[in-house]
Amino acid sequence: MSRKIAFQGEPGAFSHAAAHALFPADIALPCVTFEDTIAAVQKSEADFGVVPVENSLYGRITDIYHLLPDSGLYITAEHFLRVEMNLLAVPGASLADIQHVQSLSVALGQCRKFITKHGFRTINGGDTAGSAREVAERGDKSIAAIASRFAAEVYGLSILAQNIEDAAHNTTRFLVVAREPQQPEADSGKVKTTFVFRVRNVPAALYKAMGGFATNGVNMTKLESYMLDGSFTATQFYADIEGHPDDKNVILAFEELGFFTDYFRILGVYPAGTAV
């Protein structure tokens, strides 16, 4: 029986491409917002959710850091997707036919050199996949979309130019979330652990809390802070480490962390993905 995989965006979005790469045989469930994506998993409307957490050009996806810790869901996997921008047009169109190009403003900005070189006029779209859909619906050979290769497949468009983005290192990291944890064994290869915590209101609490990871040789690959409930004095930290909670050095680091925190929760223990 096929499972349902929730993602944010229209069919053909980069999140859809990530979901398809992870769950190629399952049913994709598009959602309007990140909140809807999380809710679909919480309500059992979807078996898994695939959400972006950070991008190599634009940094963290702030909404996820606020939604995930209180969702009750668990991270079960990560996936790195190389963001490749392509010029898509209706079948039969050529590069010489194109006068306007439509996409999300961020995507247009990432392809500025290509757009300038060809003298295209830009049209701001709601997102990349939606722009591809609208180009397909119009059937106008003079208007192209900038979107993923996957969007071309979904909407039956031709790829007139590939990898037209200015930066070749544009990559988005996605997380898979589920209602139940799927924790690998401690000795099953490279593992990441993601957790959130709040430090106690004592001098140098964060510095001391981090000391246990350094002294026990635990590599922390991410540490993000964000305000809670709009308060300048209430801060929560989101962290990724390399290692399993059952590893001796991680146990010791977490014990030391506990002396300086008043809240701690593991969001997921999962196999480390391969960056592209």
The CATH number of the domain covering residues in 4-82+170-178 = 3.40.190.10
**Calpha distance 50→211 (Å, rounded):** 33
100-104 and 121-125 as β-strands: parallel, antiparallel, unpaired?
parallel
- State CA 178 to chain mean position distance: 15
Question: What class, spelled out in words, does domain 191-271 have in CATH?
Answer: alpha beta
Interacting residues of 182 by C-beta distance below 8 A, sequence separation 6+? 74, 76, 77, 270
- Start-to-end CA distance of the chain, whole Å, equals 31
pLDDT in tens, 124-141: 998 899 999 999 999 999
Q: What is the mean pLDDT of residues 142-170?
A: 94
- State CA 201 to chain mean position distance: 32
Residue 56 near residue 171, CB atoms below 8 Å:
yes
pLDDT bucket at 232, cuts 50 / 70 / 90: low
Is 86-161 in CATH node 3.40.190.80?
no
pLDDT in tens, 165-185: 998 888 999 999 999 999 998
Sequence ranges of the domains in the chain: 4-82+170-178, 86-161, 191-271
Q: Do domains 4-82+170-178 and 86-161 have the same CATH topology?
A: yes
| 121-125: strand order across its sheet | 121-125, 100-104, 143-147, 86-89, 158-161
Active site residues: 172, 174
